[in-house]
Structure 1
C-alpha cells in the first residue's frame, strides 16, 4: 500500500513487477518520494535511476514534493537505503536544489548526512543485538557520496571509508573501524588500574600456600576457581594478564588491538601460571578490564569520566589529552569491543545501560546520555 497525501491509498502487491506504462502512470499519481520509500515494503521500482531523471525533466519540483512523513525524494532514498536513487538525485543539475537540501535540516533537526549516519548506527546496533554478520552496506557508500556532495573534505577512497566505518565508527579514526581513540584510552587506563590493584592485593597475601577467594577479578573466572580459590602464583599470572591488556593497547595501529593473538604474544613468563597463559587467559583478563571500564563509564557510575574532567581542569596533561581526543559513536560501545575481540560472555555487556537508567544516543559530536523516559513515568 502506498499512501498519497490527502488522497486514498494505492494498493500494491510487493511481488508485482509493473511494466513501463503502468509505472509511468503510477508516477503521475504519487510523489516521487513515496515511490522511492515503497522499496522498504519490498515493492521494487525497476530502473529507478531513469525514472528519477524523467520525473525531474517533466517537473523539476517533483524531487522536493514531500510524502506523509515529510520526506523529500532524497530523504526517502536515505531512509530506504536506496543507493541507486541517492546517486541519481546527487547527479541532477545544480539548479535542482539537491545541493541546498544537503545543507538543510528537517523537522527532526538533522541534515541528510546526519540522518544517514543515524540510520547506519541504528542498523549497526540491531546487527550486534541479533548477532548478524555485517557486510559493507550500501548505506556506507551512500554516506560517503553524501559527505562528498555536501562539501566535506573526505580525504580517503570510498573503500577505505567503508573499511574504517563498517563497525560503527563516526570519527574516522577508529582502529580497524571499531576501537575508538577514547575507548582505547579508557580501556588502557582501566587495565592499568585493575592490574595495579591486583598486584597490591597479591603482595598483601601473607603466605604462598594460602588460597585466594575474594580478590579483585576472581569473580570473572570459571565457577570452579571461584569455589575452590586460586593460588598466589595463579593470581599473579592473572594480574600479569590484565596488565598485558594495557601494554598491548599502548601500541599503535592493529598491533594495539586487544585481540587474543596480540595479548598471548605479549604475555610474560609469569602469565604461564594463569590458565597456561593461553587464549582463555587472554579472554578472562580482557573481560575483567572491559567490565571495569564500563562500570566507571556514563553507563555505570561515571566516576572515571568525572575524574578525567576534573583532572583536565586542574592541568593534568594525561587527562587533558583524553579530553582532546575526537568523540565517536564507538566511545561507549563496550558490546562492540566484546564482540570484535571474541569474548564468550557477550551478554555481560549487552543492554547494560537499560538497567542503569541511561539511554545512549548519538549526535554529530559523539554520545549524549539522557534519562530513560520510562523511569520517569
Structure 2
C-alpha cells in the first residue's frame, strides 16, 4: 500500500516523491486528454450549423474525460447544438476543455516548474486569474465551467487516473500501443534510474491535492480495475 510520505529510491525525485517517469506519464496524459477533446471541438466547428442541429455531437457519450465530472456538472453539458433543454449548448464542455489547456500551458510555459507538476491549488489560482482577465478568449468559457460547479480538481483527477489506467502497467487499458510508447520512452529514461515512485499514483494524488481515490466513473472501466490481473487473465 502506498504511503503519503516520500518513498524515493533513486535519489532524484522532485521533492522526494515525483519521479521523472511518473512526470512523463502525467504530461503525456495531459496532452492526450486536451488533444482528444480539442479534436472533437474541431470536428464540431467544421460542420455546418444545419447539420449539427440535426446530428449534434453528444460529448458526454464520446469523451472519457466527461465522466470525471460529478453528475451535477455533467448534466449541464449539452450537445454541440443548443436546444430547448440545453440553451447553452456545449459552452460548459468547452470551458472544461479550456481547463486542460490551462494545465498544459502550466506544464509548457516559460514559468513552468520543470521538475514538478501543477497541483490543484496552482491550477485553481490560474483559473481564477484567467476568469477575471478582460478580453481573454477563454475567460467566458472558464467562467461558464466554474459557474456551473466545475473545479480544477476534476480535470486533474482525470489526467492522473487516465495516466494510471492507460499509460501504466497497472491499468486495464495499457494496451500494445501504449506498451510500445513506453518502450520508445525507455531510451529517453535510460539516464533516469527506476524508482519506487514510478507507479505510486496514490502518493501523487495526495501530493497534488486530490482525493485518495478517483471520483471518476468510466463506463468501460472494469469494476475491479484497481486490482492487479490474476494469473488466469
TM tier relative to shorter chain: 0.5 to 0.7
Q: Paired residue for 1:274?
A: 145
Separation in structure 1 between the aligned mates of residue 226 and residue 120 of structure 2, nearest angstrom? 29
Q: Which runs of 5+ in 2 are unaligned?
A: 79-88, 131-135, 217-223
Question: Match for 1:291 among 161, 175, 187?
Answer: 161
Q: What runs of 5+ residues in structure 1 fail to find an aligned partner?
A: 1-121, 129-165, 313-318, 358-371
SS state of the match for residue 346, structure 1? coil
User: Is 1:335 paired with 2:202?
Assistant: yes
Which of the pair has more CA radius of gyration? 1
Return the structure number with greater helix share.
1
Normalised by the length of structure 1, the TM-score is: 0.44
- Relative to the length of structure 2, the TM-score reads 0.67
Counterparts of 2:207 and 2:19, CA distance in 1 = 13
Q: What does 1:1-377 correspond to in 2, within 5 Å?
A: 125=2, 127-128=3-4, 166-205=5-44, 206=47, 212-216=59-63, 217-230=65-78, 231-250=89-108, 251-252=112-113, 256-267=116-127, 268=130, 269=136, 270=138, 271-276=142-147, 281-296=151-166, 297-300=168-171, 301-303=173-175, 305-311=178-184, 320-344=187-211, 346=213, 355-357=227-229, 372=230, 375=231
Deviation at 1:224, TM superposition (A): 2.4
Count of paired positions: 191
- Name the structure, 1 or 2, with higher relative contact order (CA <8 Å, separation 6+): 2
Shift of 1:286: 0.4
Change (3 A) 1:321 1:273: farther
Relative distance call for 1:184 and 1:262 in structure 2 (3 A) is same
Give CA-to-partner distance per residue, 1:209-263, whole Å, 9 cap, x none.
8664323111111112334534422222211212332333342357x43212321
Q: Aligned-residue CA RMSD in angstroms?
A: 3.4
